[in-house]
């Protein structure tokens, strides 16, 4: 509380009241347990005193003359051990002196003594006297000891910088003091690139294991010298790029800043620690202990994170440790990237206290905010997510873990109703503000399992059941969701947002809903696992419906096992959904237990070749090849693959509207039932007729450009209680049953049927049979680009596709096991960062050397720069161009930094590969400055001055080090916008292995790529993964 009191005096008007032999500097009254207590700071003869009295301060002399008020000065601020006339410590003979001629100026860091920092300067100004530089002197002594026995994990100390003349400001006056003896001005250390917090914010590739091991080794070394650092925190961990020839990307981590360092076993004096990072100890009372450092180290493990940014989309956060470290680093396996982490990895990190659920939620929210304006997968964040996460962390800390989903963040489709502060809209403004009496059953079960409902994802409005040939991923409320693998990629639907969110890692798991294809197809298009459970395995109670006969709720996740965990948490009987009563009593519901590598051995798997042939217009050569290759994987794992055609496949395709007729008849009745159950219905809409009218009348719903033609049609037909419906339903059951999937499984004694995921869902919808889709590949670089009338690209290079396992009803555990065993055999091996070796350099040169040599003619260059002028330039333009550049440089295995800005606002910032140095940032800024100042590319400037920096600086009359803010190295390119005079932005590429010509050439190529893309042409550079 003393330091709290002292801190509060900073910047306030000081009272200077003369009492007998005592002068009051200031006072504050605190109320502890409703009892006022006044703290008084005073000085006498250059010494500080701290007074504490009950009650408030009055002007009576007795207030300060009471002897019981004043504490022994030794228990207040540290007593002076040096001449109290000194603002800076005297230079003592034992101090090492800094010799500037032995060091390059840019390689050293000068730290001014803490005496003139804000927390001490106020004492000097208030007292009109001096205060002892005790902390600075103590830090020097600690550095002397550490320098005598150096360690690689301790910042290198070079000595002190001294002077006999001191200049400082006091009450707006500059005072020049000449001392009779040299004084310490600065402590001089080896210069590091930044501290750990800054490295994280800049996106450096922080290797947590190496970092923590280095810090632990430094702490142990200090303790061996009987020193306790006293303030272990990210700002005091210094980071520097290694000069190792073997690993140009490695970072060094050392402990620095020793102004809290004190002798082990001594009484704490002066500055010691930082709140949160340090134990709550009182100066002058408590003892300095080694455990003080380990406490800070444990806090560091909680809050040590690594950020990588692939493209401009993803901020990938890893949060390290919370369990008391007990002096030993025990990281048996590397901490996971949350972009890739599955439930097992996240749950393991939570269990080992490497991070908390609260950290996870904050991380995911930050990532959602980063991408949502571009791809729009999330409609809203749960306002209570942080509170829920903290409560679940508390439960875990008390030993109560509900299960594998405890503390796991999940995003759910915005058709799954929740009774909280979030909306339940199905993507329509008609339901914004609508409330339910209770959580939907699946939401309730998620909460009971300990999952954190992080937010809602954007669906295709009304499950794509409003408009014929509607745009996948569009809703009036959520806007247009895009897939992440190609500009304006069709995300498929209707669980569009859930699939994209799972693909981008915006939550550990996501939940969707399917009537016919709404989970499986988006999973296929977005490179994730999707599972459509048997209809009746998961309750639809208070899920905005389409068809009671076909609707089901299922996972979209990174892995098959994650889908098993999620299904395990939500499946089972529900009194509110009578379809769940059909679950057989003896059915296998151990979905997680089914995930065995041996599941394929002896399995009989059918391939309906006639279906694949009939659907050939919907699949590409790359899909066919990947499908056939997958069959070989299955055979190699011990499965028996048999030809098993669907007898009624042709008839079904000729009667392709049968599913839509069933859904329409159900929707008329089911939506009315749902609306009837609302606790609050903001527009009092009771049925589909009223819903159609409200939609057509509302300016928010995009009508008539977004029509209601599907509703118009179904309202003219029968509902699901009429004879016509039952005839259609029975026919649909035949197509999916005896004449299709279920009959084929029974006749051939199959465990599952195999189909490409792009159309597998067509053959299981009416039957309500389960499907699991697993990613197996992406469309080739020569894939023709196909887009719809709304510009959504459904076919293009790099768009993913999947492989489906279809099973008999309630045989979900079986197909989960098969899909898991297949997935484990097809997972790509972990990708390692390419080394900056000779071979990599050859690859880089091979690609970059194919670029045409840029002209050196200034007229031609100026014409080229103006040849492509944007109508406007936004973050979306930057994102597309940036990813074209990133993919090209990744293909070349070329580590480079790509930065695109509008004026001084960064729109895109990404490394192409790990291996970016701090100098890349500086050179990027120099190239941008050059483009913005002179309005030409940096290659233009290089040609103008023939690469001569001296001529460049003299021509522009640059004085001093002004020229160091600019460069004439190629790789900076101007952005022009129609109607705007001059350059508005810059596209910059910086890479150690990219020369000036190549840097310019690759940017020009990317701009041409964007031009081709805008005009609909295909280009060979557009072949790598945007994600």
Q: How far separated are the first and last CA of the chain, in Å rounded? A: 51
Contact 913, 890 (CB under 8 A): yes
In order, the DSSP letters of 108-142 are EEEEE-GGGSHHHHHHHHHHTS----HHHHHHHHH
| CA 524 to chain CA centroid, nearest Å | 23
Which string of DSSP letters, residue by residue, matches 58-88? -S-THHHH-GGGBPPGGGSSPPP-S-TT-SS
CB 944 within 8 A of CB 916: no
For 216, phi and psi rounded to 5 degrees?
-60, -40
Torsion sign (Cα): 933, 937, 940, 945: positive
Q: Quickly list DSSP for 498-517.
A: HHHHHHHTSSSEEEEEESSS
Cα 935 to Cα 941: distance, rounded to the nearest angstrom: 10
Tokens of 839: 């071979």
Closest CA to 494 of 465, 527, 459: 459
Give CB contacts under 8 A, 24+ apart, made by 366-370.
366/315, 366/317, 367/314, 367/315, 367/316, 367/317, 367/504, 367/505, 367/506, 368/455, 368/501, 368/506, 370/313, 370/314, 370/315
Q: Of 208, 217, 197, 203, which is closest to residue 320 (Cα–Cα)?
A: 208
Whole-number Å distance between alpha carbons of 451 and 562: 13
Can you give the three-state secondary structure of 519-549, one letter per residue? CHHHHHHCCCEEEECCECCECCCCECCCCCC
Q: Is 518 a catalytic residue?
A: yes
Asked if residue 858 lies in contact with residue 940, where contact means CB atoms within 8 angstroms, the answer is: yes
Q: Cα–Cα distance between 752 and 734 in angstroms, integer?
A: 18
Interatomic CA distance for residues 138 and 800, integer angstroms: 62
Angle between helices 496-504 and 357-375 (to 10 degrees): 120
DSSP 811-832: -HHHHHHHHHHHHHHHPPPPPP
Asked if residues 428 and 463 have their Cβ atoms less than 8 Å apart, the reply is no
Burial class (CB in 10 A: 0-12, 13-18, 19+), 41: buried
- Specify whether 413 is catalytic: yes
Structure tokens at 503: 């693909």
Catalytic residue among 518, 630, 773, 794: 518
| Maximum Cα interatomic distance, the chain, rounded to a whole number of Å | 109
3-state secondary structure of 606: strand
Which residues contact residue 132 at a Cβ distance below 8 angstroms, ignoring those fewer than 6 apart? 78, 79, 80, 81, 82, 84, 86
* DSSP assignment of 206-254: --HHHHHHHHHHHHHHHHHTTEE----SGGGEEEEE---SS-TT-EEEE
Catalytic residue, from 111, 240, 271, 413: name it.
Answer: 413
Burial letters 956-983, b for 16+ CB under 10 A, else e: eeeeeeebeebbbbbbbbbbbbeeeeeb
- 641 three-state secondary structure: strand
| 656 is a catalytic site residue | no
**Catalytic site residue from 353, 494, 495, 901:** 494
Among candidate residues 433, 291, 310, the one with its CA nearest the CA of residue 887: 310
Beta bridge partners of 359: none
Distance CA 560, CA 592 (A): 9
Query: To 10 degrees, the CA torsion angle through 839, 841, 846, 849?
Result: -160
Q: Which residues are catalytic?
A: 413, 494, 518
């Amino acid at each position: 509380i003393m330091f709290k009191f002292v801190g509060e005096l900073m910047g306030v008007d000081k009272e200077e009241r003369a009492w007998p032999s005592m002068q009051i500097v200031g006072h504050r009254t605190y109320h502890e347990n409703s009892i006022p207590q006044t703290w008084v700071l005073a000085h006498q003869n250059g010494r500080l005193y701290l007074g504490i009295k009950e009650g408030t301060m009055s002007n009576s002399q007795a207030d300060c003359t009471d002897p019981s008020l004043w504490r022994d000065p030794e228990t207040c601020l540290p007593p002076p051990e040096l001449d109290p006339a000194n603002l800076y410590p005297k230079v003592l003979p034992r101090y090492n002196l800094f010799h500037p001629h032995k060091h390059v100026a840019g390689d050293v860091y000068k730290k001014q003594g803490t005496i003139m920092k804000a927390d001490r300067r106020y004492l000097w100004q208030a007292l009109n006297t001096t205060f002892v530089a005790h902390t600075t002197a103590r830090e020097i002594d600690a550095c002397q000891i550490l320098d005598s026995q150096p360690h690689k994990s301790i910042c290198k100390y070079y000595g002190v910088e001294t002077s006999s003349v001191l200049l400082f400001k006091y009450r707006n006056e500059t005072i020049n003091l000449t001392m009779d003896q040299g004084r310490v001005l600065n402590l001089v250390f080896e210069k590091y690139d930044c501290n750990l917090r800054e490295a994280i914010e800049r996106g450096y590739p922080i290797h947590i294991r190496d970092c923590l091991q280095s810090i632990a080794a430094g702490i142990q070394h200090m303790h061996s010298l009987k020193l306790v650092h006293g303030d272990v925190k990210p700002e005091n961990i210094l980071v520097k790029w290694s000069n190792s020839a073997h690993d140009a990307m490695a970072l060094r981590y050392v402990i620095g800043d020793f102004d809290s360092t004190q002798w082990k076993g001594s009484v704490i004096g002066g500055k010691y620690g930082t709140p949160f990072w340090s134990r709550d100890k009182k100066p002058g009372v408590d003892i300095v202990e080694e455990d003080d450092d380990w406490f800070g180290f444990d806090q560091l493990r909680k809050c040590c994170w690594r950020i990588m940014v692939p493209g401009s989309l993803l901020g990938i956060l890893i949060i390290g440790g919370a369990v008391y470290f007990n002096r030993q680093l025990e990281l048996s396996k590397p901490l996971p990237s949350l972009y890739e982490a599955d439930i097992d990895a996240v749950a393991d990190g939570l269990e080992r206290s490497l991070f908390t659920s609260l950290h996870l939620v904050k991380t995911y929210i930050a990532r959602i905010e980063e991408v949502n304006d571009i791809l729009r997968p999330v409609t809203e964040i749960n306002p209570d997510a942080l509170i829920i996460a903290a409560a679940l962390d508390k439960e875990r800390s008390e030993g109560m873990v509900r299960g594998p989903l405890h503390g796991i963040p999940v995003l759910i489709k915005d058709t799954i109703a929740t009774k909280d502060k979030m909306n339940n809209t199905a993507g329509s403004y008609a339901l914004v503000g609508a409330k339910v009496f209770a959580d939907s059953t699946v939401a309730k079960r998620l909460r009971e399992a300990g999952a954190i409902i992080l937010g809602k994802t954007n669906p295709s409005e009304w499950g794509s059941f409003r408009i014929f040939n509607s745009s996948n991923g569009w809703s009036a409320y959520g806007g247009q969701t895009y897939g992440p693998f190609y500009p304006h990629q069709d995300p498929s639907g209707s669980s569009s947002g859930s699939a994209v969110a799972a693909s981008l890692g915006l939550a550990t798991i996501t939940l969707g809903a399917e009537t016919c294809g709404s989970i499986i197809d988006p999973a296929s298009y977005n490179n994730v696992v999707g599972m459509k459970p048997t209809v009746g395995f998961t309750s639809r109670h208070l899920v905005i419906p389409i068809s009671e006969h076909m609707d089901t709720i299922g996972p979209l996740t990174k892995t098959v096992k994650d889908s098993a965990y999620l299904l395990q948490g939500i499946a089972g009987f529900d009194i509110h959904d009578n379809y769940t009563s059909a679950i057989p009593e003896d059915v296998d519901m151990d979905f997680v237990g089914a995930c065995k590598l041996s599941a394929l051995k002896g399995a009989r798997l059918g391939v309906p070749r006639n279906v694949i042939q009939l659907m050939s217009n919907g699949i590409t050569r790359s899909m066919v090849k990947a499908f056939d290759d997958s069959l070989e994987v299955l055979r190699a794992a011990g499965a028996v693959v048999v030809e098993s055609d669907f007898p009624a496949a042709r008839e079904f395709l000729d009667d392709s509207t049968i599913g839509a007729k069933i859904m329409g008849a159900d929707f008329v009745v089911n939506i009315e039932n749902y609306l009837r159950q609302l606790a609050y219905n903001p527009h009092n809409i009771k049925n589909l007729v009223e819903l159609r009218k409200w939609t057509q009348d509302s300016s928010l719903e995009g009508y008539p450009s977004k029509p209601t033609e599907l509703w118009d049609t179904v309202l003219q037909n029968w509902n699901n209680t009429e004879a016509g419906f039952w005839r259609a339903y029975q026919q649909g059951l035949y197509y999916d049953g005896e004449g299709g999937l279920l009959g084929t499984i029974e006749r051939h004694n199959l465990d599952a049927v195999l189909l490409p995921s792009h159309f597998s869902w067509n053959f299981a919808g009416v039957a309500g049979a389960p499907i699991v889709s697993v990613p197996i590949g992406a469309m080739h670089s020569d894939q023709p680009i196909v887009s719809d009338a709304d510009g959504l690209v459904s076919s293009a290079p790099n768009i993913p596709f999947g492989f489906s396992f279809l099973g008999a009803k309630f045989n979900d555990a079986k197909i989960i096991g098969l899909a898991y065993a297949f997935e484990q055999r097809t997972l790509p091996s972990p990708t390692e960062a390419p080394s900056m070796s000779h071979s990599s350099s050859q690859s880089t040169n091979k690609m970059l050397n194919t670029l045409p040599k840029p002209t050196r003619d200034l007229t031609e260059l100026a014409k080229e720069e103006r040849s492509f002028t944007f109508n406007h330039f936004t973050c979306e333009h930057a994102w597309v161009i940036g990813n074209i550049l990133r993919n090209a440089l990744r293909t070349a295995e070329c580590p480079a930094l790509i930065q695109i800005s509008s004026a001084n606002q960064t729109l895109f910032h990404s490394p192409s590969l790990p291996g970016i140095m701090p100098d890349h940032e500086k050179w990027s800024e120099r190239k941008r400055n050059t483009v913005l100042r002179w309005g030409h590319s940096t290659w233009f400037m290089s040609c103008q001055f023939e690469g001569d920096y001296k001529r460049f600086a003299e021509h522009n009359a640059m004085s001093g080090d002004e020229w160091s803010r600019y460069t004439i190295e190629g790789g900076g390119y101007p952005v022009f916008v129609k109607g705007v005079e001059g350059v508005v932005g810059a596209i910059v590429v910086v890479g150690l292995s990219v020369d000036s010509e190549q840097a310019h050439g690759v940017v020009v190529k990317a701009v041409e790529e964007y031009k081709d893309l805008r005009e609909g042409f295909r280009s060979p550079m557009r072949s790598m993964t945007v994600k």
